Chains A and B, each alone.
Chain A
């Protein structure tokens, strides 16, 4: 069965500090992996995606993620967090030819000055 686990419900970091949000997945087929961000009252915005190839992927807003097949993980990182990064972050898994995504429960990021 497909599932995505985001073990951290809420993370607080200081502005300028580094960030890592964890994501573990369980998926029978070759996974397509995504990170989305959601600001209050907004829809989801795609930060980055992994389909194949280089396991370190770069996204928008300075985010990157690394796919580790052996650990079934796809952690999101940012070297220096900005106050505007405060939002909820969702990891999702899908498959080629299938547009139904399975989402994790999300991690809420708070940024303190």
Chain B
């Protein structure tokens, strides 16, 4: 079956702009998590969506937001971009369910460069 799709794969923006990244999970998976990966901070959890609801949120400013659609596809948005937002943004597809751990399947990521 198809894996996790993230679009675009590469993106260049300037400071102050906003950006929207997209993630299509594996078919049948209902939950999506987002992570930011930078050389300085490593991999950090941004948020998780399950059935169109944000279920968990990491320690990021309000400029970072997301949503999930009824088909489980998810988008994340970063407004008023800063240089420090340059990172690889990874999406993970999770089968779902709140009472057990579910394996996370990661997409290839979107590489965002802020100039």
Contact = CB atoms under 8 A, between A and B. Distances in A.
A45 interface: yes
Contacts of B109: 42-43
B47 to A, nearest CB: 8
B99 A97 contact: yes
Nearest to B58: A100
Contacts, number: 62
B108 A102 contact: no
B103 A43 contact: no
Given A32-B101, A43-B106, A100 B90 contact: no
Contact of A104 (B42, B99, B104, B107): B42
Contact of B45 (A32, A46, A102): A102
A43 B4 contact: yes
A43 B43 contact: no
Interface residues of A, number: 25
B108 A42 contact: yes
B101 A97 contact: yes
Interface in B12-51: 31, 33, 35, 42-45, 48
Nearest to A49: B103
Contact of A100 (B33, B106, B107): B33
Nearest to B98: A97
Contacts of B105: 46
A9 to B, nearest CB: 11
A101 B45 contact: yes
Nearest to B97: A97
Interface of A: 32, 36, 41-46, 49, 51, 90, 92, 94-106
Interface of B: 4, 31, 33, 35, 42-45, 48, 55-56, 58, 90, 92, 94, 98-109
30 contacts: A32-B101, A36-B106, A43-B90, A43-B106, A43-B107, A43-B108, A43-B109, A44-B92, A46-B103, A46-B105, A90-B43, A92-B43, A94-B101, A95-B101, A96-B99, A97-B100, A98-B56, A99-B31, A99-B48, A99-B55, A99-B56, A99-B101, A99-B102, A99-B104, A100-B48, A100-B58, A101-B104, A102-B45, A103-B35, A104-B42
